[in-house]
Structure 1
Amino acid sequence: MIDTRLSEEHEALRKTVQEFARDEVAPVIGDFYERGEFPYGIVAKMGAMGLFGLPISEEYGGMGGDYFALCLALEELARVDSSVAITLEAGVSLGAMPLYRFGTEEQKRRWLPAVAAGEKLAAFGLTEPGGGSDAGATRTTARRDGDEWVINGTKAFITNSGTDITSHVVVTAVTGTREDGRKEISAILVPSGTPGFTVSKKYSKVGWNASDTRELSFADVRVPVENLVGELGRGYAQFLSTLDEGRVAIAALSVGLAQGCVDESVRYAGEREAFGRHIGSYQAIQFKIAEMEARAHTARLAYYAAAAKMLRGERFKKEAAIAKLVASNAAMDNARDATQVFGGYGFMNEFPVGRFYRDAKILEIGEGTSEVQKMLIARELGLPA
């Protein structure tokens, strides 16, 4: 028998985050979103709740929980707002986890406690302006000069990289050439404020307007050789491992957005009247909302299944790709349908579904496009690369 019921601890966490999202985030996030302003106060409260340290052991300042706990928190936050949710997701899965999984003991003790407490944010610099899904085409370089790495290059679309509380960015860079002629890619930690490390102004984005996304440039940036994260030449492989976890987290975030569309549509359908009746009494609206709920429910089961395999230590690459593909599709479809339920009001930014519609599309792109997920699923099925 398959049991999808949450444990007492997970259910308590889910309810706590649900209440926080409803009472602390929902009333104010719209104004932050319209101003394109990063919500430092909300992030500080999330840090005080321990959300940034959920899957990190107490030894490094975390809560000692598991990755599924992070996913539950992301789902509940995204039911209200995705900017806040992606700040948490990127801060943990991309910012903290590479160090937690692959960093040295000294690196973990130096950098993780402040990140786990939400006092500082960390970022991961993989994507480049000409790279996109082809992360193996990295052009940023890092050459060793004595006891230092000298880094040159550019990174694009990097979340949490330019806030006032960003402590560092872990970047991938070409550090040599393999015997087969392919690039040797390594991961290196670059503290914020390092000379030659320039953070551009924020992008003007379609969505996620209350989150921080920047382009980064490195001009003869020098950091100690001890800032190598993990093994030399294993940076790309390490990130692929991190990305499998991240896709489960993005799936959870996507489910939250999809469910938020259902929540808002049910509420609105019970209030809005047309032709003398509440629109929720019309079968056309009922069927549309029923399909939305079915998508959210199915996507939730997909990420629960992927997370279960992850926690058991089993291979979960295919399940993570399926969860990310199904959930991001559900988010996009539900955002479109919720906007239709709201009619003209759905096109107004003052209503949450307007934000949901603007935020949904990136979920089919970030941390691996839908096309990449299909490619991964096909390969896991044994089809030729």
Structure 2
Amino acid sequence: MPATRLMPTEEGQDLIDLTREICTKELLPRVAEAERRAATAPELPVDAFRVLGRAGLLSLPYAEERGGGGQPYEVYLQVVEEIASVWMSVAVGVSVHALTCYPLAQFGTDEQRERLLPGMLSGDQLGAYCLSERSAGSDVGSMTTRATPDDPASPSAYRLKGTKAWISHAGHADFYTTFARTSDDGGRGLSCLVVPGDADGLSFGTPEKKMGLHCDPVSEVHFDGVEVAADRLVGEPGQGMAIALSALDSGRLGIAAAATGLAQAALDHAVAYAKEREQFGHPIGDFQGLAFLLADMEAAVTSARAAYLHAARLRDAGRAFSKEAAVAKLVATDNAMRVTTDAVQVLGGAGYTQDFPLERYMREAKVTQIFEGTNQIQRLVISRQLLQNTSKRG
């Protein structure tokens, strides 16, 4: 059954209704076959993003005057959750695209926003977020991709050299929000540039063979002397680490919302099956052991939703939300893993087959505990903030 929602505005509810209609008519009929096909030949369902883009659903949390939807983050995230309840790969792609736009929207100059954001938010473009490297995942400050200025005193362009790994939309994106080293000063030596998707010297690796999210292909992005105009540098040189971490606070909420939608879908399938499947002359949902399992699944989904909405409302109010974003990402993704696993258990042997989508949901849930910062990193973020705040009070 659809999630019970209390939207902040009538427009927000209209967007949820629109999203559900698009998901039911445009996405649901094709998701199973598309994911099966992409398991052997990874592909990005570009037309699905075009449908969402034409409906204005790819730019909801950004300012209307720049081409966005002007919606609170709590509305945008619930739209992401609705998409994830039907097609997780696409929901992750929507979250990634929003993440790619954040640095420019938040840290760019007025001239950059006016020049670049309308295209990025038009619904016709898709972005990629180039942060991770093979040896620089959680340890962002150890990245080696380098952006060298043509004139250190007054650069007109930077030349990028290096490789990024695990990049969604690689080879399909219209722009690449890229973090690279501009000095050797550790984490203080990183900068952010928006690289055009058709830049010379940009190439891509073979898509990774993943256990799930097959319609969210990821691969390496190679920068072989890619020249990027200096007017595409976002923020100041050396500000890249702060920009990246700020963006990830918001990005983690996108993953939390997507994980919640995935868990909701698993719960819905499990409940429907428990009502129909009979053993010993009764629907299996009549047996307390299974009924209580379903109740725990519902509690997990509901608490995940509450966690990400709390963080989103803090963000919308202009208040600090980094710790709450980490809590939401941790709770929602751990719960998604548990709920999808329990849903397979409810269906028994049937849940282990591809006749039902539960085995796919379980495979898709696993990576949510890993990307946008592993859940071990989330615990580090949360504990550090708790102890820092405690020491300040002392």
TM-score range, shorter chain: over 0.9
In the TM superposition, what whole-angstrom CA distance separates every residue of 1:25-66 from its partner, at most 9, and x where no partner exists? 111111111111322222111011101110111222111212
For the residue of structure 1 that corresponds to 2:129, the secondary structure is: strand
Distance 2:267 2:218 in 1: 28
Structure 1 counterpart of 2:74:
68
In the TM superposition, what whole-angstrom CA distance separates every residue of 1:144-177 from its partner, at most 9, and x where no partner exists? 11322111111011112222xx211011111013
1:26 aligns with 2:52: no
Structure 1 counterpart of 2:14:
12
Structure 2 counterpart of 1:274:
279
Report the identity percentage: 39
Q: CA 1:269 to 1:193, structure 2 compared with 1: closer, same or farther past 3 Å?
A: same
In the TM superposition, what whole-angstrom CA distance separates every residue of 1:176-204 from its partner, at most 9, and x where no partner exists? 134xx665100112111212111123221
Of 226, 241, 249, which aligns to 2:231?
A: 226
Query: What is the CA-CA distance between 1:328 and the residue it aligns to?
Result: 0.5
Of 157, 162, 168, which aligns to 1:153?
A: 162
More displaced stretch, 355-364 vs 275-284:
275-284
TM norm structure 1: 0.93
The amino acid that maps onto 2:170 is: S
Question: Number of residues paired by the alignment?
Answer: 376
Distance 2:348 2:86 in 1: 20
1:1-385 matches, within 5 Å, as: 5-7=6-8, 8-36=10-38, 37-92=43-98, 94-146=99-151, 147-163=156-172, 166-178=173-185, 183-382=188-387
Query: What is the CA-CA distance between 1:356 and the residue it aligns to?
Result: 0.7
1:303 touches 1:323 (CA, 8 Å); kept in 2? yes
Distance 2:68 2:280 in 1: 55
2:28 touches 2:86 (CA, 8 Å); kept in 1? yes
For the residue of structure 2 that corresponds to 1:53, the secondary structure is: coil
2:263 touches 2:301 (CA, 8 Å); kept in 1? yes
Query: What is the CA-CA distance between 1:117 and the residue it aligns to?
Result: 2.6
In the TM superposition, what whole-angstrom CA distance separates every residue of 1:300-322 from its partner, at most 9, and x where no partner exists? 11111111111111111111111
The amino acid that maps onto 2:231 is: E
Distance 1:236 1:292 in 2: 37
For the residue of structure 1 that corresponds to 2:19, the secondary structure is: helix
Distance 1:317 1:101 in 2: 16
Q: CA 1:204 to 1:110, structure 2 compared with 1: closer, same or farther past 3 Å?
A: farther
1:162 touches 1:212 (CA, 8 Å); kept in 2? no
Structure 1 runs (4+) deviating above 6 angstroms are: none
Q: Which runs of 5+ in 2 are unaligned?
A: none
More displaced stretch, 63-72 vs 111-120:
111-120
The amino acid that maps onto 2:16 is: R
TM norm structure 2: 0.91
1:52 touches 1:115 (CA, 8 Å); kept in 2? no
Q: Which runs of 5+ in 1 are unaligned?
A: none
The amino acid that maps onto 1:64 is: G
More displaced stretch, 28-37 vs 340-349:
340-349
Distance 1:45 1:211 in 2: 17
Q: CA 1:372 to 1:182, structure 2 compared with 1: closer, same or farther past 3 Å?
A: closer
More displaced stretch, 25-34 vs 350-359:
350-359
Query: What is the CA-CA distance between 1:10 and the residue it aligns to?
Result: 2.1
1:151 touches 1:220 (CA, 8 Å); kept in 2? yes
The amino acid that maps onto 2:118 is: P
Distance 2:268 2:214 in 1: 22
For the residue of structure 2 that corresponds to 1:25, the secondary structure is: helix
Distance 1:194 1:358 in 2: 35
Q: CA 1:187 to 1:350, structure 2 compared with 1: closer, same or farther past 3 Å?
A: farther
